[in-house]
Chain A
Amino acid sequence: MDLTRRGFIKLTGASLATSSLSALGFGGSGAALAEAVRPFKLTHAKETRNTCTYCSVACGILIYTLGDGAKNARSDIIHIEGDPDHPVNRGTLCPKGSALLDIVHAPTRLQVPKYRAPGSSEFKEVSWDWALNRIARLMKDDRDKNFIAKNAQGTTVNRWLTTGMLAASASSSETSYLTWKVARSFGMLVFDNQARV
């Protein structure tokens, strides 16, 4: 039987549910074995294909979550490992990728929007609405005041140089495309990402 490791886990999961491992060729001993083995925790988890967030090898990963996706159940990531079917990493991960679970659940993951007022020595929690309204106000005032519609020669240049942006090289291409649209529609030129480094 030609089985990938993923297939094996799926199949054993399904087989355990029916208390039979005969599909795997374990024969009559399968049922006894199945009863003796504590159900593998990942067989109850939802498996999601993703890509390691670090370097550009882009290792395939499998993320395992508890929670069946029901509306009121919050899913929780319990395990991350290399995708054995991936043609580049073939299931392996490096010391960074192996610890992805710890970055997802880092104690310094940010939970709420915060604001630091001029001269203050602390952050204060604020609502999303308040933060985004304030940011838009600051940006519009700056743009209206400092936008350069024409240069000294009278050429239309339509640029805004007093506010700039750094985009994220770990964000998706879809995020980056939307970010490009927004930043350039404002006329931003002070605009870069980690590719500059």
Chain B
Amino acid sequence: MASLAPTFGRGAMTNTWQDIKNANLVVVMGGNAAEAHPCGFKWVIEAKIENGAKLVVVDPRFTRTASVADYYAPIRPGTDIAFLSGVIRYLLENEKIQREYVRAYTNASLIVKEGYGFEDGLFSGYDHEKGQYEKSTWDYELDEQGFAKVDDTWEHPRSVMALLRKHVARYTPEMVSRICGTPQDKFLHICELIAETSAPDKAMTSLFALGWTQHSVGSQNIRTMAMVQLLLGNIGVAGGGMNALRGHSNIQGLTDVGLLSNQMPGYMTLPKDSEVTFDDYMKTRQFKPLRPNQTSYWQNYKKFFVSFQKSMFGDAATAENNWAYDWLPKLDVPLYDIIKAFEMMNHGQMNGYICQGFNPQQAFPDRGKIRRGLSKLKFLVTMDPLDTETSRFWENFGPQNPADSAAIQTEVFQLPTTCFAEENGSLVNSARWLQWHWKAADAPGQAMSDIWIMSGIFHRMRELYRTEGGVFPDPILNLTWNYTDPTDPDPEELAKDMNGRARADLTDPSGAVVKKGGQLLDGFAQLSDDGTTESGCWIFSGCWTDKGNQMARRDATDPRDQGIAPQWAWAWPANRRILYNRASADVAGNPWNPAKPIIQWDGAKWIGIDVPDYGPTVKPSESVGPFIMNVEGVGRLFARDQMVEGPFPEHYEPLESPAINVLHPKVQSNPAVRVFADDRADFGTPSEFPYVATTYRLTEHFHYWTKHARINAILQPQEFVEIGEALAQEKGIAQGSWVRVRSKRGFIVCKAYVTKRIKPLTVDGKPTHVIGVPLHWGFTGQARKGYGANTLTPSVGDANTQTPEFKAFLVNVESVNGPEA
């Protein structure tokens, strides 16, 4: 969520699933909720039926979401920024923004430094050699007190609003249509529908998923819509928001707990090489407010950090050793992401890899490269309930996995694990709810939990370091491990670790003891930076208190039936269900939409159905902004230095594209993207691969898991691609016949489904065909053997997150004879 955090301060879905019913307009773009999130999508139908909402879908395919839409428009894959920048231009030109909201709750009025600029596709500060920006000009002009200067009239030529107007001026309806292939009339009709929600009491919700993230400009796709929503005053309100529909049951949780190369729990970050000392590290994490009276909650970073280190290392983390700062690994590059990991493997720079419930052989781009990389490892450990392709990458399954077993020297361990039904624990859903679940039965055979396996590896490693010595054993020998059964810690104990506890008696200003040493904390407000508290994941603090397991709560009571259900499970932060809910009320504290208030000022305190963003007695007159994690306290239309490719979004073509970037032909694709040389050599050109391909899920399948489940394998047994009627006719491809789809990286042979749902688009005057590639097949499980969509996809990621560009690449297609039965 490297797009929402730079804009709003937190990288998570803003509202709840049920809150979608409060929307007046639902825009599904960059996702297909009806098929990928069916039971959440019912709230869209509820909005249509009960609230008179309109549903708009913009997608390359006429999806099942589109089939129940009030209005549908097609778009070429990889051009969403152009479409949405055109929407912004429309809103500004036609005065369809919620001015009071924009003035008070966004950085529209802030003045940007002299020196900032944008010309011919590049922002100021570009280093052509490094392919990176020096971003110092992407910031505000500050006054003597260090606060950002402001022009509330937006007349200053360097006010964010003036710069934004100038930036989007190029995205006329003609230009949008030329780039996206969306007919102008359809684009303009959608602009009109969106513009209606600029009324203070009208809300639009944006529902999106991997259709936006899986692009080389993925983060900026999302940011562009986040900006639209800020301009319309749709963030923080009922029925509004940026609702990132996350794909896996605990993908939000694993992000929250920081299981990403550069992350620590609670969105803290690991140190870089340049942050030599703890003081250096803290210097870049001061988060001094850039406007008067702002919360800038990250000012408490040191409290979260010290409490975390105490949770990790207990008494061994002391003020004297800088809370064991040196025991954390430092990064010499921004990320060791998965694309980089497989690049390293292919160059013989990695020896071991552990895949816990993750199947990169199918799930990562360029399957051939993945197999070659795994083949160069000394050892591979897989931990999974299912027989994955990754664990069998070395086995010859014919054209779907042409491995030469004898030549592959990798030792492979296939470890059987429990599944959801066989363990206790919590999962964080898309709406940040931590829901506890309970074990229903024992696992089959000798399968064991991931907790038991990870503990088993850890104890053996620690024992080896104790007996043999070895390199830098300190963090291993000092890791806190206070569990009743050290070989198999209880999930309950781990949950309490994350919540945190007092390590000494905590007192209030009067000296009264608030918490006794050892007691569980009530929330992160009790954390301190002097070593007297510990918490493994500060944003989860409050999930398991002295009152018990808050995540196990199952009271579905819903005040005013507004879709909050505040006593069902527990939500981070602080059980807040709608993020930035302060923005649901105007500057004086009165709700923008009196029919659906979330919180409001009653003259003495904030009251309402949700936990307010900040203290309940902070007066509206103090002008404390709703975006408390941002140093400005407001939402960012201008992202400062938070994005690698620019403070405003700009349309760049996918790395494989059928079209020239008509805005700036010299800067065709994202100038800050990272491409490894051998991957670049594997990009195809439109002359050889003339068709745009995009990958997606089917409603009957979940990734590469459900082909192991009988009913799902029966429902969708056979690998296929979707081809529009026009292209099928042109290529002589009959309904249900065999085709070979090729990219520069490989080919798949599968069935063709000829459909009316994909129609050719006219892009810059030329007809452009799109081929749909559902992703679910492989060579293990009960469905028919298949290749998998990622045989075709390119190994390049979003410039900020390195999320692979699965949604827009080039292929060719031809009719072939079927494989011999």
Chain A residues engaging chain B, CB cutoff 8 angstroms: 46, 48-60, 63, 65, 67, 74-77, 80, 82, 85-89, 92-100, 102-104, 106-121, 123, 128, 131-140, 142-144, 146-147, 149, 151, 153, 155-182, 184-197
Contacts and interface: CB of A to CB of B under 8 A. Distances in A.
A96 B700 contact: yes
A149 B330 CA distance: 10
A171 B357 contact: yes
A177 B223 CA distance: 29
Contacts of B246: 55-56
Given A97-B39, A112-B416, A112-B446, A49 B437 contact: yes
A54 B464 contact: no
Interface centre among B245, B329, B448, B782 (most CB of A within 10 A): B329
Contacts of A158: 326-330, 472, 475
Contacts of B802: 196
B332 A137 contact: no
Contact of A116 (B411, B446, B556): B411
13 contacts: A55-B40, A57-B17, A57-B40, A106-B386, A110-B445, A112-B445, A138-B378, A142-B351, A157-B332, A159-B329, A166-B338, A182-B454, A195-B255
Contacts of B781: 106, 108
A164 B352 contact: yes
B91 to A, nearest CB: 30
B430 interface: yes
Closest 3 interchain pairs by CB?
Answer: A168-B357, A172-B425, A111-B445
Interface string B246-258: 1111111111111
B565 interface: yes
B495 interface: yes
Interface centre among A108, A132, A142, A163 (most CB of B within 10 A): A132
Interface centre among A53, A67, A169 (most CB of B within 10 A): A169
B702 A138 contact: no
Given A56-B247, A179-B454, A161 B344 contact: yes
Interface residues of B, number: 164
Contacts of A182: 454-455, 457-458, 479
B265 A177 contact: yes
Contacts of A167: 254, 259, 356-358
A164 B342 CA distance: 10
Nearest to B381: A135
Contact of B259 (A88, A94, A149, A193): A193
Given A151-B273, A167-B356, A55 B37 contact: yes
B184 to A, nearest CB: 35
A64 to B, nearest CB: 8
A163 B353 contact: yes
Contacts of B265: 177, 180
B696 interface: no
Given A77-B421, A114-B413, A189-B262, 19 more contacts: A55-B37, A88-B39, A93-B39, A94-B699, A110-B414, A115-B412, A135-B457, A136-B457, A151-B273, A155-B273, A156-B276, A170-B420, A173-B257, A176-B259, A177-B498, A187-B475, A189-B261, A191-B260, A197-B804
A113 B352 CA distance: 18
Given A95-B699, A128-B446, A177-B498, A52 B249 contact: yes
B353 to A, nearest CB: 5
Nearest to B386: A108
Contact of B558 (A87, A100, A136, A139): A87
B405 A120 contact: yes
Interface in B404-423: 405-417, 419-421, 423
A152 B247 CA distance: 41
B356 A179 contact: yes
Contacts of A58: 249, 427, 429-430, 433, 435
A103 B705 contact: yes
Interface stretch (B99-107, B296-304, B525-533, B709-717): B709-717
Contact of B413 (A54, A89, A113, A157): A113
B256 A173 contact: yes
Contacts of B708: 103, 106-109
Contact of A56 (B38, B387, B429): B429
Given A49-B437, A50-B421, A119-B405, A96 B706 contact: yes
Contact of A55 (B249, B312, B438, B480): B249
A160 B470 CA distance: 13
Contacts of B439: 48
Contacts of B565: 87
Contact of A109 (B210, B344, B386): B386
B488 to A, nearest CB: 10
B248 A170 contact: yes
A121 B419 contact: no
A188 B329 contact: yes
B116 to A, nearest CB: 31
Contact of B330 (A55, A56, A59, A159): A159
A100 to B, nearest CB: 8
Contacts of B115: none
Nearest to B365: A197
Given A48-B440, A174-B494, A166 B358 contact: yes
Given A111-B444, A195-B251, A131 B415 contact: yes
Contact of A192 (B249, B338, B351, B536): B338
Given A136-B460, A139-B457, A163-B352, A56 B252 contact: yes
B461 A139 contact: yes
Contacts of A136: 457, 460-461, 464
Contact of A140 (B17, B455, B461, B568): B461
Interface centre among B246, B253, B355, B455 (most CB of A within 10 A): B253
B413 A131 contact: yes
B421 A104 contact: yes
A111 B414 CA distance: 10
A111 B407 contact: no
A53 B702 CA distance: 10
A154 to B, nearest CB: 9
Contacts of B414: 110, 113-116, 123
Contacts of A193: 251, 254-255, 259-260, 358
B248 A119 contact: no
Contacts of B497: 177
Contact of A135 (B248, B379, B425): B379
Given A87-B556, A132-B460, A169 B420 contact: no
A52 B394 CA distance: 32
Contact of B448 (A80, A128, A162, A168): A128
Contacts of A140: 461, 464-465, 468, 470
Contact of A190 (B336, B419, B558): B336
B428 interface: yes
B354 interface: yes
A123 B247 CA distance: 32
B744 interface: no
B444 A109 contact: yes
B336 A189 contact: yes
A167 B87 CA distance: 39
Contact of B260 (A92, A116, A138, A195): A195
B449 A175 contact: yes
A110 B677 CA distance: 39
B167 interface: no
Contact of B363 (A175, A178, A189, A194): A194
B378 A184 contact: no
B456 interface: yes
Contacts of B328: 158, 184
Nearest to B210: A197
A149 B699 contact: no
Nearest to A154: B276
B472 A175 contact: no
A98 B489 CA distance: 32
Nearest to A64: B440
A42 to B, nearest CB: 13
Contact of B350 (A55, A163, A174): A163
